Amino acid sequence: MKVWSMEDHASLELCFEKRFSETDVKGSLEIPQSANFLPPRDEVMHVRIQNGSVMQFRARSRRTGGRRYMTDQWRGFVGAACPRRGDVLRYYHLVNTNVYLVELERPPPHLRLFGKDIYLEFIT
C-alpha cells in the first residue's frame, strides 16, 4: 500500500531507496552511502510532497564518519507523512532541476513465524 506518492513525472532518477529504521522516523534520515544524484553537502534541496507543497531538506554530514543525513524540514515531512519503521522511502531527482520527489510505501501487514513472513489479507 502506498501512503505517500509522487506520480506522472517522466524524467526521474532514483537517488536512493531505504527501509525506515526507528532512528529515521524519530530523528533524522540516514542517507545510504550508495545514494546518487544528490547535491553537494549542505546545499538546500527543494522536495515536492504529495499535496503539491515544497519542503526544503539539506543533506548534512556527520562529524565522525562523514555519513550524510537529512535535516531542515525533514521533521515536518515526518509529521505530515507519518512513516513507520519498515516503510520504504524512495527519493527521486527531477532531471535538470534542483527538485526532488519522495514516495513512501507501507508494506502489507504480516507476521513472522518460524523465520517466515506470513502476509495478512483483510477482507472488507
Burial class (CB in 10 A: 0-12, 13-18, 19+), 60: middle
Q: Where are the domains of the chain?
A: 2-119
Residue 16, pLDDT score: 95
Comparing CA positions, the residue from 97, 82, 80 lying closest to residue 9 is 97
CA distance 7 to 13: 13
CA distance 13 to 82: 24
Give pTM, 2 decimals. Answer: 0.75
Please tell me the CATH code under which domain 2-119 is placed: 2.40.330.10
For the residues 64-92, what does the mean pLDDT come to? 87
Tens of pLDDT, residue by residue over 23-57, are 888 888 999 999 999 888 778 889 987 777 889 99
85: which 3 cell numbers?
519503521
